[in-house]
Amino acid sequence: MNYETYISSIKSLEADAKKWSNEMLKLKGTNSGNMGLTPDKVKFSPEYKQAKKCYSVFFNGIRKLNGMVPKSYLKRAAIERRRLREQALEAKS
């Protein structure tokens, strides 16, 4: 796997994980208790279980992919993320 393939794969997996994470947050809504935990009523609903299962699949895919690629790819991706973050901060200023 080359670096470009890795980046496209990781972006796809991250987008899907983000989608399911947002779905879980939407289902949870503002129904958390004092400790910020998801209520049992929401946790055991079929919709939440499905969203949690899909999120876990994509999150574990990210973990496996990151474990398979050379460390140089991970370092290069981190450097690029930092550079993009700095550019975004400079643009806001």
- Average pLDDT value for residue range 52-78: 95
CA dihedral 23, 24, 26, 30 (to 10 degrees): -170
pLDDT at 22 over 80: yes
Which of 40-44, 53-57, 83-87 has the lowest average pLDDT?
40-44
3-state DSSP assignment of residue 47: helix
Distance of CA 39 to the CA centre of its chain: 22
Domains of the chain: which residue ranges? 3-30+55-92
For residue 87, the model assigns a pLDDT of 95
Mean pLDDT over each residue of the chain, to the nearest integer: 92
Other CB atoms within 10 A of residue 63 CB: 11
Specify the pTM.
0.79
- Average pLDDT value for residue range 74-93: 94
Which residue stretches of the chain are H helix?
3-28, 40-43, 46-68, 71-92
